[in-house]
Every structure is written in structure tokens, then in C-alpha cells.
A and B are shown apart, each in its own frame.
Chain A
């Protein structure tokens, strides 16, 4: 069992090499508004602690404060970070600088921006060793090679001579890991280092990282929003909400018997690889610093709320050895089961009424062919998932169907008619009946228009409604996507990512389509928001009989949302069929590899 900070403080000792956060508070500079508050966490050597939270929870703030750093606009307002008998926050800056990178290392989310694009990889690693005074001038190159070999990268001269842009995303991240490990740090802070990597690459990076931490006895804080990743690599998990740790415990405790209502809601929102689930979101939105409610910060979104919840901030109390929960009703919330919300997979024998069929689709970008003879079809009220890693051609296919990409050969038949290449060559009816939803809701809504104008436009364009009647319909649609009329006159930049994506969905629905093409529409969103969007799409499919082409890289999500799946690799369909068949008994090697690398919770 890991010692709690209280125990250690009482005993007056800190495990050698570990790090101990006590009562940490970070504020917005110039005000008493807290970004994070009341953080107590200790990391033992060789232990990986997952710090999980959604955007705005303050998880990255806690991560960087381990290095005595707060981003511009914030300052560390109190607390101690005890490391090797010293308080990092009380040290003079020269010593903090010495500690950073050497004893406490940091791996950023986007390693490409951490490597200098104009210096060769080998030179960069050698420079780091010079800076840290590691080795002798003669031994440094060998040291760099050893460091690269340790993270499973080639260590030959050819590789050392490369620039950062000549490496793949996974390689860059492993170079960053190698550089973090070279000075043999005792503490490592990893800030979402695998976000943006393909699952197979992510799997390799995570494995490398976990091995290095365990063999070198490094205490690692793994900051992420991805519960599935944490479930695979962490020893202990701390769940953060609105600047506070709401639950802390062993991995198995957190995933088998979560107690805090927020942890439970998060787990309810994530899809499983092994079973289809009815996902649910968390109502409301994460409050920003300064707007957090009094009392328990989760009370306004909590299903277990009682009047006492608003009265005082609950303490992070121990409910079982090593398991701490910040909830006054921790003893009353009852048991919880991870298999809650499981639903049966779609029956593979279900009759299908095909509405859209794609045959022998070839797409070239310049001279490079990115899609090779792809054929599949989509039935009414059915969800077909296109799954693959980056470069698999999944988005390109969806863009061809949506009329955003013009240069392709083959045929796409929609309701018995051949579809034109590009939206301008399609009939008005075709344009209306197939709607496309983009991956990034921050880019897909015109920031100069109001929500009303955005959602109303397709109705005017397709002569569905206009004027007052159209406004009424907009309100109706906004209700349907759980936004409400209050946002009618706001501009998109006043809304959060999840709210924007709902507006984008409302815009697509305004055209009263038969087919929705969804291009990774949840990948930029928090898991709880993803849960509610998936629930929304499912209800639309059932109530309106809309068919969906769902592009994603997330196989677990496919299991919960799709009826059929096409696995793409290098622009070719390598395996396809009903979700339950493909995922339970994959035939192709690539599918097996994808499934094996996908982080799974259960």
C-alpha cells in the first residue's frame, strides 16, 4: 500500500526518490481565483500515477507545478512539493532550474514543438548531455545511441543525422522520451504524450515508457484525459474535477468500484472494446476557474446531490485503505458495476435496405493514390464505421461521399442514382439529403455568424422554411441537441467545443438529411461530451431513421455506435462486416493488431 501524504508528514520522511505534493494551490495571478486547490498527492519510485481529468480540470497545471512552474497568467499560491528533502517551491530559481530536466523531467503533449527543427536529432541529444554535464565529450555520442536504443529507436548514424520533420509522430515522441530519460531523472511528468498518435504507435510508446519507469525506479505522473490509457499503464489513479482531486485510489479500485459520482459518470461515458454500451454524457459543462460553484464543485451536475452538498467543500476522505473520495455521500451512493449500460451488439442477420453504395472508389492526390478500389454500402437507419489509422484514407472516402472532394473514380450510388463528383455537380436534393459533419467544431462554424443564422441557413437554402417558421424550427433543433434557445443569438466563439459540435449537428439536421457523414466528430471533445453526442446520434438514428457513415480511429467507440465496420489500411479495406463479427473474431492480421493495441478498460 502506498503511504498517504499525511502518514509521511507525520513520520517526517519522504520515500527516497519519490515526490510529495502537499496542499498545493495555483491561482490566476492578481486574483484569489484558484485554478487548482487542495492537491495532496505522493508518487513513490517506480510508480505510475495517472492524473485524469477533462479539459479545464487543472490536470496540466498540477503536472507543471511539480517542476515549480505555472503557465503565464497563473502563479503557485501555496503548498509544498517535497522532493529529496527539499521543497521545490521554496528553492531559489537557480536550483529549480538545476532540478528541472535533470531530476524532474517533463514530456510535453506535442513533442514536435519541443525538438528544434533545424538541429539534427543526434546533435540535439548530445547538446542536452553537454548542458546537463553528462559523460565526457567522447562518450556522449555513444550515450545518445544508448538512449535511442533504450526507447526502441534505431541508433545508427543515418538516424542520428535526421531532422525532427523526417521522423514519424511516434518516433518524435520516443526521442522526447529518450531525452527525458537520459539524465536519469527520479520524477517524470508526462503531459498527454500519446494524444494524436495512432493506436499502434501509442501502444509502443506507452509500453516503452512503462518499462523505463519501472526499471529505473522513476516516479511518473501521467496526465491524460484518456481513462482507457490509464487503465492500462497506471498503478494508481487520481481523478480531477474543477481543480480538485475528487477520487484517488489503486487502478483496480477506481475502475471496479468507483465511488465519486463524477468518476462514475466518466466511466459511464466511455465505450468498451469488448461490449456495445449505451453511452451517456454528464449534463451541463465543466465550470471555468472563478465560476465554480460553492460547496462540492460537482453538485450542480451530480445525480446524487442533496442540499448539504452546497454547504461546504467536502474533504478528500479515506473510505478504504488507499482509496480517497471527496464526497459527503461516499458511504451512501451504493455499489457500481462497470458492465452497467451494456447493450447487445447489432444482430448480423438484420435485414438491410441499402441507401448508399460505393463501388471501386479510387482517389489520387497528385500522383499518389490514397484510396484503392474501396467498395461498401450503407443501409437505412444503419451506422457504418470507417476505421483506420492516419493515412488510411478513411477521411478521404468520407469527403468523396460528402461531395467535398472532387477528384475520384468509381461510382457512388445514392438511392438508386449515381452521385456527382463534388457538391456543385450534384442535384439540390442530393446535397440536401447527404450532410457532412466536420471533425473540428472550432473550424466548422463561421465565427462571425450567430447560431441562429448558422442553423437557419440550410433551411433557407433548401426552401424548407423561412422567417419566423425557420426560427421556430431552429429553436426546436437546438432543443433536440440539448442546447436550448439561450444560445440563439450567441456567436460560435462563446460556446465550448461540445456545444459547437451540437450546433454543427443541428445545422446538418436542419437540412432534414437521410445520410449523415460524421468525420471523427468526437475526437476533439472530452469523453463525457463524446458520450452525450453519441447518445444524441443514437436517438436520431432511431427516431428519424438517419443512416450514418461514421469515421473514427477509436475501435471502442465503433463497438458502441456502429452496426457494421470497414477496417482500412493504406487506402484498402482489409476487413469488413458486422461489428460483432469483426471485433470478436477478426480474420485479418492488421485488424488483430489494431484490436490488441487499443487500450481497453474491460
Chain B
């Protein structure tokens, strides 16, 4: 049999086999389903909402109207819940992505270069690590009048980066000393190519798991910022802000707080299960 007849068959069947293998990991399937549901809720929510997000439908903290009652201004909680996900999810996702990219870059470069450069990078990293994540964001946010979405993304990303860098460096250290990296060096490959083609692809599993965890933290962070009143549009619904707005009536109108808490909780469980599952899948692929 010649190579050309073998190749296409193996390529298409490999993709199919990958899906089939993925479907055999329950936590991956479960996580993906939960995540997809919450994302769908956030994306399609505005279309399904019975009322506008700033439309007053009854008395403040009333429980008689709608499925979940009213909030502190008499707005429909269900409608605000359906409207309040898009921004927070988008900002968290982008922030996480930015944090991962920055962190992995710093960590891998530190591990790969070694020596004094590694020391300098990692000690600087430790300094930034010393700031609590939310503090860093607050310092900047209080200085600006009206926070833009991109600013929050950058702040979330930057506050994640040093934590991701620690992990990425640790993982990369175990890989840069392996023979296939040394072999690429001996061939005279460019340093950037060694990092991108040889080192990075072998860090998939732990990095994916970390990304899932970081996404959880991002949502927490964005929600907390919303809770503290730092959101892109104070009038627009936002899951984090909703908790803050309605906490006074926890006893009489719990749904106004519980509903956004539950959705955020569900989403973090979903993404974490998925990240775990992907890590498992990558692990099995190695064997």
C-alpha cells in the first residue's frame, strides 16, 4: 500500500476517534453540557426576556410578579438575569485568555532561558504575586471615572498572569530538559520555534486545567468588581452587580440574589469539569 492511500483515511478517522474518545469521559461531556447551557442562557437570554432590563414591573422586592420576583427597583429579576450574563462571561473569557497567554509566555521563557534571566523574571513575578488580585484591579479602577470593558479585561488578565506564570514555569522546566528539546537545539532551531513547536504543545494538559480554574477566578473577580460597583454600565444588568444590589432583602426576596449566584456557580462547575475532562483526554492520548 502506498503512503497516499493510507494518509487521508487515517486523518479523517483520527478526528472521529478523538470525538469518540472524548465522549467516553463523563466529566468532559457533563461539563460541556453545563457550560453550553449557561452560555446559551447568556447569549440568547436578551431575546427571551419577558421585560426590558430597566423596565419597572412592580414594587421593589415584590415576590408576586414574574417567576423570580422583583429587585430593589422593582425590575423583573428573571429579565435582568437573562440580560446580565453576556458582558460578564465575555469579559471573564477574554481576561482569562489574556492572563493565560501572558503568564505562559513569561513562565516558558523563564524556564527555557534558565540562569540569571529566569531568576530576574521569577523574582519580579513574585513581587506582582504579592498583590491580592482584587486590590490591583481596585487601584486602577478607582482612578478612572467610567471603566471600559477592555480595561476590566486587561486588569483581570494582568492579575492572573503571575499566577499562571508560576505554574507554566514549573511545567515547562520538566519539558525543556527532555531530549527532544535538546535535539531541536542541536539542530539549531530558532529559540522561538523550540518554545512554540517543541515545548508548548507538551504543556496542554496542565495548562488547560489551569485555564478552567482561572476562568472560575475570573468570573469571581468580575462579579466581585460588579458587586463593588465597578461595571461597564451601572444601569445594565450584571450578575455580579445584581448580588450587591439585592443583598439587603436576602430574607424576604432571596431569588434576586440566589438566581445570579446559582448561575455563576453552575458555570464555574461546568468549566472546571470540562477543563478536568480535557486534561484527562490529553493524558490518555499520551499513552
Contact = CB atoms under 8 A, between A and B. Distances in A.
Interface of A: 402-404, 423-424, 426, 428, 431, 436, 438, 440, 443-449, 457-458, 461, 471, 475, 485-486, 488-489, 493, 507, 511
A588 B182 CA distance: 36
Contacts of B3: 471, 475, 485, 488
10 contacts: A431-B188, A438-B183, A440-B179, A443-B178, A444-B179, A448-B201, A461-B188, A488-B6, A493-B286, A511-B187
A436 B179 CA distance: 11
A404 B181 CA distance: 11
B20 interface: no
B202 interface: yes
A458 B187 contact: yes
Contact of A423 (B186, B201, B202): B186
B192 interface: no
In the A-B complex, list the 8 residue pairs whose CB atoms are closest, starting with the nearest: A485-B3, A448-B201, A444-B179, A443-B179, A446-B180, A438-B179, A431-B188, A423-B186
A427 to B, nearest CB: 9
Interface in B165-202: 178-180, 182-183, 185-189, 197-198, 201-202
Contacts of A446: 180, 197-198, 201-202
**How many B residues touch the partner, as a band?**
20 to 34
A438 B186 CA distance: 12
A428 B183 contact: no
A3 B283 CA distance: 50
A403 B202 CA distance: 24
Contact of B186 (A404, A445, A471, A486): A404
B6 A445 contact: no
A273 B202 CA distance: 42
Given A438-B179, A444-B183, 20 more contacts: A423-B187, A423-B188, A424-B185, A428-B188, A431-B187, A438-B183, A440-B179, A443-B178, A443-B180, A445-B180, A446-B202, A448-B201, A461-B187, A461-B188, A471-B3, A485-B3, A489-B6, A493-B286, A493-B287, A511-B187
A506 B201 CA distance: 23
A94 B41 CA distance: 60
Given A443-B180, A446-B180, A426 B188 contact: yes
Nearest to B199: A446
B233 to A, nearest CB: 43
A488 B198 CA distance: 19
B135 interface: no
A423 B179 contact: no
Contacts of A449: 197, 201
Contacts of B14: 489
Contacts of B287: 493
Contact of A447 (B6, B10, B188, B202): B202
Contacts of A444: 179-180, 183
